[in-house]
Amino acid sequence: MVKKATKKATKKATKKVTKKVTKKAPAKKSTKKAVKKVTKKATVKKVAKKATKKAPAKKVTKKVATKKAPAKKVAPAKSAPVKAAPAVLAVGSAAPDFKLLNQDGKEVQLSSLKGQYVVVYFYPRAMTPGCTVQACGLRDAQLDLKNHGIVVLGLSPDKPEALKKFQENDHLNFDLLSDLDHSVAAAYGSWGTKQFMGKVFDGILRQSYLLDKEGKVLHVITKVDTKTHAQDVLKFYQSL
């Protein structure tokens, strides 16, 4: 009986000790690792949430930057400088002398025509509509012009070959002179800025200089009417 009681007491004591030891025993390594991972994840999430709350949204940053950024100053567009109109020869001044090739390739010099009235007229281009009307009017009035001792010289930047064709096509009976580099036109104030079909360019200004027998300017026609040009010239000389 004593032995049985002793065994029971020993078993109870062993169980109590085992329970105490089990409670105090540390967790297995695998369990510790799992706990660490979970803890880390939880910590990362908390930190991310705090950072998200504190960090400003990108869109807001852009808007704020746009509001604060000063607007760039746009420089005003510079308008093209306006060219001054070429100076027209004054009445009473001596007409600049020149020597140019005519439609036949022969030289014609203005000073060699002293003793006669001379009409020096500038036109833009041979065989164009307005220039043809003007030239044909002078052609038809040649007899009257000669009777008044008036010589006609037409100047343009065309080559002599083009002038020859112009003369032959329209049976012109006066000299057409080739002012290729428009230097004579410039000297007479008949080269400058023009506007046509919305385009601005430099070219011949349609003008006529009516000279006396000494080569001085008697009259300048700056606004030429191509249809009545010949008659306008005649009327002026007839009025002297």
Residues forming the active site: 131
Nearest by Cα to 165 from 116, 131, 115? 131
CA distance 195 to 193: 7
Distance of CA 129 to the CA centre of its chain: 30
DSSP state of 101: E
Pairing assessment for the beta strands 99-102 and 107-109 based on DSSP bridges: antiparallel
- Give alpha helix (H) positions in the chain: 2-24, 29-54, 58-68, 129-140, 142-147, 160-170, 183-187, 229-238
CA distance 43 to 39: 6
The residue to which tokens 């007839």 are assigned? 238
Contact 216, 118 (CB under 8 A): no
Tokens of 201: 């360019």
CA distance 139 to 38: 112
Burial of 209 (0-12, 13-18, 19+ CB in 10 A): buried
